[in-house]
Structure 1
């Protein structure tokens, strides 16, 4: 493979800081790293399956370790594993030699990252890991290295060259390790039957968590905040109820609080267009009967989808007997971060 510096200078001449050269270098880096990741596909073979099976059988935690840039990739790998159903955490190899190795138990699996496979801080702790009888999975760029040879399973993440024109800064090699870590995490996710709901439980503060964990009864208006009137109520008084409660609608309920209909801001515009007398017209004459309702345990995200599908801005919430127990509108969903 042509060295990066030669590749650029062949097309653009001597080094300079011109826009054309900067852009060309950026594109060349992305292409080189994409090629490096693509080459990993041929290495998803039996050792990859063995690495997955060690982690699936792990009764403790997956301990990820690495030094320098490999350590940063290892930290991300541990975070991805932990958030997708494989309990994991990162241990710095330098700290491991000074007490943190006590975090590793016989029930764990260790994943070690080192492009050279000769990182002193890692090779120093390998004998202790082996003494524990813990499976050691190594991701290196050198199958003949000390770390690779000592590992229970070795995953080859070697690259033909770094994307750095000097051939020094870890670039393509760290990208390859990152991609292999993601491949492991996703394979394990599928093998465990990990679901979107499981992911949401690991991310309760994120938008996905809110979409998948929030139910209507978590965000709906209840009690005196729910607008309601009974049949026979003049339209004028129903409008006052809508104004007081601020949801842009009111429910029409019978004496047992069963929902008979709904009257919304949209209904008001249509009613006024017909010239109705707001002082004399009873609310049941202009309400929308049998409105869309939802149960309290419906996911808020499903409520949002239903409102969008029916082009409505609010929902009445009813129990199994059709009694009014709450209400919500699009503003409630927006405040909750569901839409």
Structure 2
């Protein structure tokens, strides 16, 4: 869709948005006029409410990826600073993701898209419409950052958020090919999550990356089996000994892991990731498979990356803080308090 077609569509959307607000008496569009060598928005809108008039600048972008949104938002803010008669800026694009909307809020500008989402707030006027899906989705986008293998790169970056990376050493660390890692790097740049410094790059917004992953993460992608153990949570050490003896990777997860990093956590069901052989492990240590009332859940991870950053605490292997946070936030809403503690007291400390 060319910019002229986009402009026509957004003109209609702007009229529809403001005309449904009872306090708005009239909406008038006018061309944006300025010096040839200076930035000017695509259009200006005059909104009349009673005796007051407000001028709003509209910037239209054919691509709504966060890095383009950030650049457009910066241009709008600079324009508003030098044109005091224009009170507000709105960015318009075919589709603006939640990540893009967060950037707009950061710059205190509004945003609208062709899906019907809108976020506007100025001079007592407030419109918030969200949750409408992209009418023309592509395979490339923020969700593909969190696919099985791509998430390995995200995990590494969040574990060492200050580190300056080259594609080669990041690929080695994440156990991916150079081609795969290069493609993921490009997506991260498009999402305005990493910044290039010569031939290197580093993570610039770990909070937004973690938030986005949390929204796209599904705990149920892990294979699970429920059991009952007469030993209760003490079964964790028995599982650990068996796995170490037989060379099976394991790590305590969810509340079992959180208990060792956030000791206030109380729990009565153990959760352990094991790389394979759930039935063999259960049989060898005397676990009874059950359909109700389990106190042990063995998990086969959706990808080997789950074990990245595993550390030993009190003689037991525990998944990384990032993995603990993801699982606790996504496990049926019961781990919110522990997840927040891990975020505020452990994960964020690495971002400082």
Using structure 2 for the length normalisation, give the TM-score.
0.23
Using structure 1 for the length normalisation, give the TM-score.
0.24
Task: Select the structure of larger CA radius of gyration.
Answer: 1
The structure that is helix-richer by fraction is 1
Higher RCO, Cα 8 Å, sep 6+? 1
